Amino acid sequence: DQQVKQNSPSLSVQEGRISILNCDYTNSMFDYFLWYKKYPAEGPTFLISISSIKDKNEDGRFTVFLNKSAKHLSLHIVPSQPGDSAVYFCAASESNFGNEKLTFGTGTRLTIIP
Amino acid sequence: DGGITQSPKYLFRKEGQNVTLSCEQNLNHDAMYWYRQDPGQGLRLIYYSQIVNDFQKGDIAEGYSVSREKKESFPLTVTSAQKNPTAFYLCATGRGDGGTQYFGPGTRLLVL
């Protein structure tokens, strides 16, 4: 069963506007969440993370929001730039329980339209 | 120059052949991981190792084997028992604390 879900396979956004990527999870033991960006034929690049003790973490143009009651997190990119076009993966772990495995979603392909 | 290197970038396997993918890191991370990515799917964990001479199966370990004789190296062997080996293989490292993992550039394995 898919414990981390990214229900939108693709998203297109105008350059300069806000991109919002969504992720849902079912495992209530997850306490650490990450977003990765991936270009074709390359390894994923870590973008930003958030611990379950927070509901928001910001790093430059990237902000991650966590809603624990809804088991939902989102990544906001503002303003969106052409170089942001990539596949974005959401991942989660049970770090406080000594389980360091990351569980990944299936990814969302973001296309920034110039 | 710190980082994770994977070789080769492309690898071809013949039927019934075992092949070994290399992963080396100089980040001094304790933990190393192997993932597989298939089109339209997320990354799935094959094997991971938290310390030298110890490793655990991930979600899809069948048909694969690993070794961890050195902290810097975590090679993955795709055996002939793996019936669908064509995929993009990613090695990652981490501090082993359930936090961020960092990925290498990947190896694409193709079956002839």
pLDDT one-digit tens code per residue, B15-58:
889 999 999 999 999 999 999 999 878 899 999 999 999 999 99
Indicate yes or no: CB of B101 within 8 angstroms of CB of A95: no
Q: Give kind and range of the element (H or E) at residue B51.
A: strand B43-51
| Residues of B in Cβ contact (< 8 Å) with A94 | 98
Region of B63 on the Ramachandran plot (φ > 0 left; ψ -120 to 50 alpha; else beta): left
Distance from CA of B104 to the nearest CA of A (A): 5
Distance from CA of B4 to the nearest CA of A (A): 10
Beta carbon pairs, A and B, within 8 Å: 66
How far apart are alpha carbons A92 and A114 in whole angstroms? 32
Indicate yes or no: CB of B103 within 8 angstroms of CB of A93: no
Note the residue count of chain B: 112
* pLDDT band, very low/low/confident/very high, at A67 (cuts 50, 70, 90): very high
β-pairing, A62-67 with A72-77?
A: antiparallel
Indicate yes or no: CB of B31 within 8 angstroms of CB of A99: no
DSSP annotation of A95 reads G
**Cis ω for the linkage preceding B8 (within 30 of 0):** yes
Give me the pLDDT at residue A99, please.
Answer: 63
In A, minimum Cα distance to B92 occurs at A43
Query: In a mutagenesis test of the B interface, which of A102, A104, A106 is the best target, namely the one with the most B β-carbons within 10 Å?
Result: A102
Give me the pLDDT at residue A97, please.
Answer: 60
B112, pLDDT greater than 90: no
In A, minimum Cα distance to B42 occurs at A106
B1, pLDDT greater than 60: no
A2, pLDDT greater than 90: no
Give chain A's mean pLDDT. 94
Indicate yes or no: CB of A106 within 8 angstroms of CB of B106: no
> How far are the Cα atoms of A70, A102, B9, B76 from residue B85, in angstroms, in the given order?
37, 22, 15, 12
| Residues of B in Cβ contact (< 8 Å) with A43 | 4, 6, 90, 92, 103-106
Q: Is A101's Cβ below 8 Å from some Cβ in B?
A: yes
DSSP annotation of A84 reads G
Give me the pLDDT at residue A55, please.
Answer: 96
Task: Tell me which of A86-100, B25-39, B68-82 is least confident.
Answer: A86-100
> How far are the Cα atoms of A13, A31, B73, B103 from residue B42, in angstroms, in the given order?
22, 20, 24, 14
Indicate yes or no: CB of B98 within 8 angstroms of CB of A104: no
What letter represents residue B57's amino acid?
K
